[in-house]
Structure 1
Amino acid sequence: MGDKASGSVSISSTKPPAILADSEHFEQQQLATSCGYSQHMQHANLGDGAATARLLSRSDWGARLPKSVEHFEGPAPYVIIHHSYMPAVCYSTPDCMKSMRDMQDFHQLERGWNDIGYSFGIGGDGMIYTGRGFNVIGAHAPKYNDKSVGIVLIGDWRTELPPKQMLDAAKNLIAFGVFKGYIDPAYKLLGHRQVRDTECPGGRLFAEISGWPHFTHLNATEGSTPVPIEPHAHPQAASQTPLQLPPQSPPHAPAAAPKV
């Protein structure tokens, strides 16, 4: 069964982004990672040189094989930012790996999709987790799945800002995608709410990415899908049903004033 939902960072041409810095054979291994089958974890120095992030392959976090893989020709003209809402933010790598598995389980087993919907996930540990990878049709934003990179920052970012290591990892991933030709250098950066009726990626995170290079306000012809094809919620959130209030009787008409 296929998917049901279809639909910057400025860098120098001579200086690769930090995510490339630590592997002599990164290109060959990254191509494998983007297809979902690399056995290697790649190290990536973040911008300040102090923190270290990794691009983890699907096998690193224990992904199930996709039911099907459909590619689109790059480079992708859009990057779309999401939050997971649920699972909640994770700060250890084992917890973030479990969050990725939980999302894949929900998307594949409950929704019947080919795979986890997102191209990549970012954990509170500052690590980058390969989802579908680059140039693979996703299931994260109707009408944009075949021309975008969908990046989910794991957690609920409605009122809180993701920690710096998450934001840095997202920026480095975008810069890497541009550098390697997976993302158009003139890409448009969007929040999920701009292409669908949803709170995602959360108000606080949306305010943050609104100040990033390449953030784009869509015009009416590019506007959002008014009715969601699938709700943006994972099992914990989906199981919460709204409070049902009993029907109320109409108010009684006021009694007539006594005659005097």
Structure 2
Amino acid sequence: MANCRALRECTDQMILIQKMHMKERGFDDIGYNFLVGGDGTVYEGRGWGVIGAHTKGNNHDSLGVALMGNFNNDTPCTEALSSIKQLLRSGVSLGYLHPEFILLGHRDLGNTQCPGEKLYASLPHLRNLT
């Protein structure tokens, strides 16, 4: 997934991801519940309360949030991490996430480098919602 930093660029990336999920993977729509652009904009994929198609075998009890970009070398920006934290807070306050949810990276559940070294290193900071 390519990095994006501006609304138009991130919107175009979102459309490419949706097309790939539908045409190549045969999904009804984008697989993630939410995506976050490099500018911090949150995009609704399947949304709250809908089973995603993001981590085979673990979709029934999880929420799929993707940060658009490749974070093996690039560090996720503060705006994007802040948006993810706010999204998780909203999920708790709306009752879609348990207050003591477990935050995992895709690599914790499958043989992948996702979400990349730099983003994976940020996950502990996202667990603290205060």
Structures share a fold, TM > 0.5? yes
Q: TM-score with structure 1 length normalisation?
A: 0.48
Partner of 1:122: 36
Equivalent residue letter for 2:78: K
Superposition misfits of 4+ residues, deviation over 2 angstroms: 210-214
Aligned residues: 128
Q: Is 1:164 aligned to residue 42 of structure 2? A: no
Q: Where is the helix percentage greater, Structure 1 or Structure 2?
A: 2
**Matching residue of 2:5:** 91
Aligned mates of 1:213, 1:128 — CA distance in 2: 18
Q: Structure 1 residue 124: deviation in Å?
A: 1.1
Rounded Cα–Cα distance in structure 1 between residues aligned with 2:32 and 2:95: 19
2:16 corresponds to? 102
Identity %: 41
Corresponding letter in the other structure for 1:147:
D
Alignment of 1:50-199 (within 5 A): 86=1, 88-199=2-113
**Superposition deviation, residue 213 in structure 1:** 2.5
* Bigger share in strand: 1
Segments of structure 1 that go 5 or more residues without pairing to the other structure are: 1-85, 215-260
Partner Cα distance (2:71, 2:90) in 1: 24
**Structure 2 counterpart of 1:202:** 116
How far apart are the structure 2 equivalents of 1:188 and 1:126? 22
Q: Which has the larger radius of gyration?
A: 1
SS of the residue aligned with 2:63?
A: strand
Structure 2 CA distance for aligned equivalents of residues 162 and 212 of structure 1: 12
Whether contact under 8 Å (2:84, 2:126) holds in the other structure is no
Q: Could you tell me which amino acid in structure 2 is paired with residue 129 of structure 1?
A: Y
Pairwise CA distance, 1:210: 3.2
Q: CA deviation at 1:186?
A: 1.4
1:129 aligned counterpart, secondary structure? strand
In structure 1, distance between residues paired with 2:100 and 2:88: 12
Per-residue displacement from partner, 1:104-154 (whole Å, max 9, x unpaired)? Answer: 100001111121110000001211000000111111111211111111000
What TM-score do the two structures reach when normalised by structure 2?
0.94
Return the alpha-carbon distance in structure 2 between the equivalents of residues 100 and 211 of structure 1. Answer: 25
The answer for unaligned runs of 5 or more in structure 2 is none
Q: Deviations over 1:48-92 (max 9, x none)?
A: xxxxxxxxxxxxxxxxxxxxxxxxxxxxxxxxxxxxxx2x11111
Task: Give the SS at the match of 1:106.
Answer: helix
Kept in 1, the 8 Å contact 2:31–2:45? The answer is yes
The one-letter amino acid paired with 2:42 is I
Is the CA contact 2:85–2:126 (under 8 Å) kept in the aligned structure 1?
no
CA distance in 1, matches of 2:34, 2:126: 19
CA RMSD of aligned residues (A): 1.1
Inter-partner Cα distance in structure 2 for 1:144 and 1:183: 15
